[in-house]
Amino acid sequence: DQQVKQNSPSLSVQEGRISILNCDYTNSMFDYFLWYKKYPAEGPTFLISISSIKDKNEDGRFTVFLNKSAKHLSLHIVPSQPGDSAVYFCAASVYNQGGKLIFGQGTELSVKP
Amino acid sequence: GAGVSQTPSNKVTEKGKYVELRCDPISGHTALYWYRQSLGQGPEFLIYFQGTGAADDSGLPNDRFFAVRPEGSVSTLKIQRTERGDSAVYLCASSFWGTGPKTEAFFGQGTRLTVV
């Protein structure tokens, strides 16, 4: 039962262009969503989050959009840089479950110079 | 310390042996989490501590897995009678969850466990 799904295992983008990573979820109880970035041999690093009461959160080059009716969120990176090449994980939680995160399978982003 | 520290970074053990994996969370973080990540998958929740007590252990796959956090800081994940299917990267994370506004969890670099 995969409650959080990232259907694209990989994405390749040209430097300077927009990267769009997608995530779908099934559990309507999720009320907090996060994106993590992971380099090889390192732990995931927090990137950006969004509460279910919002539909957009922006931090520099990174913007997360939440569409609750579609149970879909996306991460936009503009402009993409080669250093953004990593695996990106979408994660979701229910606030009264103590911060326990349910992760998607990840999308490997490759930004080519 | 500055971040979440996990030791060892790599562990190779024989099938049937017992292993302990250690996690040193960020100082002051009350919540501590263990996850397991298999190849090509996202991290999978195992157990969550709030202080010294296990608040949610619903992700532990079976009774061979056990975790403790006796003083509310360092945690040890213990695996008995290891099986080849236990091979994965075990990730620890900590956060201020439960003490105020929602905050993100900070992850350690993981322990890569290989059971041969």
**Is the CB of A44 less than 8 angstroms away from the CB of B107?**
yes
The answer to whether residues B111 and B7 touch, using CB atoms and an 8 Å cutoff, is yes
DSSP string covering A33-81: EEEEEE-TTS--EEEEEEETT-SEEEETTEEEEEETTTTEEEEEESS--
- Work out the average pLDDT over A56-77: 97
Instruction: Count Cβ atoms within 10 A of the Cβ of residue A75 and give its class: 0-12 exposed, 13-18 middle, 19 or more buried.
Output: buried
The answer to whether residues A13 and B61 touch, using CB atoms and an 8 Å cutoff, is no
> For residue A2, what pLDDT band results from cuts at 50, 70 and 90?
confident
Nearest to A42 among B45, B102, B109 (CB): B109
Predicted pLDDT of residue B102? 60
Optimal mutation site among A100, A107, A108, interface B, most CBs of chain B within 10 A: A100
Count of other CB atoms within 10 angstroms of residue B82: 21
Predicted pLDDT of residue A13? 98
Chain A contacts in chain B segment 61-90 (CB below 8 A) = none
Q: For residue range A74-107, list pLDDT tens digits in order.
A: 999 999 999 999 999 999 998 777 788 999 999 9
DSSP category for residue B70: T
Q: Which chain B residue shows the shortest CA-CA distance from A99? A: B97
Virtual CA dihedral for B22, B25, B31, B37, nearest 10 degrees?
Answer: -50
| Phi-psi category of residue A79: left, alpha or beta, with phi > 0 → left and psi -120 to 50 → alpha | beta
Q: How far is A14 from chain B (nearest CA, A)?
A: 24
Predicted pLDDT of residue B83? 97
Predicted pLDDT of residue B1? 52
Q: Which chain A residue shows the shortest CA-CA distance from B108? A: A43
Helix (H) or strand (E) holding A86: strand A86-93
Nearest to B104 among A34, A43, A51 (CB): A34
> For residue B16, what pLDDT band results from cuts at 50, 70 and 90?
very high
Predicted pLDDT of residue A80? 98
**Is the CB of A105 less than 8 angstroms away from the CB of B109?**
no
In the predicted structure, residue B101 carries a pLDDT above the cut 60: no
Q: For residue range B42-90, list pLDDT tens digits in order.
A: 999 999 999 999 989 999 999 999 999 999 999 999 999 999 999 999 9
Helix (H) or strand (E) holding B42: none
